[in-house]
Copies of this chain bind each other. A is one copy, B any other.
Amino acid sequence: MIHPKLTCEFLNFKLNTPLVLASGIIGTSATLMSRAAENGAGMVTAKSCSLQSRPGHPNPVALDWGHGLINAIGLSNPGAAEEVNLLMATRAKLQPLGVPLIASIFGGTIAEFVQVAQIISRAHPDVIEVNISCPNVSDEFGTPFSGTPESAATVTQAVKQVVTCPITVKLSPNVPSIARIAAAVKEAGADAITAINTMPGMLFDVVSGQPILSNKVGGISGAALKPIALRCVYEISKAVSIPIIGTGGVSSGQDAAEMMMAGATVVGVGSAVYYRGVSALQQIWEELKCLYPML
């Protein structure tokens, strides 16, 4: 029986567990994030934040469609300035637990990414995650920054230049070659890669004929995303040698083991918090230790 390289290390951090609370999952308050840290999260990622505050989309914003979830929360956040306070309060709670804090940032332009990175840096997060899945507003088709090696690298380089902490760049699966994007962001200075963000999808209500999400399009996560995420992580791990936060569809110890076999250094968990409650990460960690008792 082969077992995965089960490490509790990420960059220079020694972690309590190899499981990471994914961005946008109850990452909206210090109390919720510390609850995650007390329940099995080796690292905690805050909700993505932008320069200005955003209310997010109207309801419905999230659905369980039977084989996974779909959400279009709409990146609601209090804006970078307010987020600094939230991150500082969170850090104060996480530090005694030995749980590093990952801030998450996004913007519609490179300049915005840079500004948010600078503001957020005041909170001294342990890592900054650069969420490049949002559309580049200066691209006429609104292609996400994660969509081409060039735009992904440009954001990476711009952010890297203005921060002192390590950065991880979060990639999207809807690209023809994620290995190429990974190589580009690594080259541009990414210390790590988070893979993957949700896959864009849609659902319709057959009685009203309407898309169910108010935003029409949403991001697919959970079970349906797992094989996509495994393949992305595998391709990235063959292409670059920096650490990977393998994320997508993990909700059991077995899923986490698969993610590590695909090449993940540590494993991100999001939707499982719905399926298994806030202690999902703790449960996954127990299952992982059970699966590989020799570790």
Contact = CB atoms under 8 A, between A and B. Distances in A.
Given A228-B199, A228-B220, A177 B262 contact: no
B141 A208 contact: no
A254 B209 CA distance: 11
Contact of A224 (B67, B146, B211): B67
B177 A202 contact: no
Interface stretch (A41-49, A100-108, A109-117, A168-176): A168-176
Interface string A283-295: 0000000010000
Interface string A125-155: 0000000000000000111101110000000
B174 A148 contact: no
Interface residues of A, number: 53
Interface in A252-268: 254, 257-258, 261-262
Contact of A261 (B70, B179, B206, B220): B206
A217 B231 contact: yes
A231 B201 contact: yes
Contacts of A217: 231, 234
Nearest 4 interchain pairs by C-beta: A147-B176, A201-B227, A2-B209, A224-B224
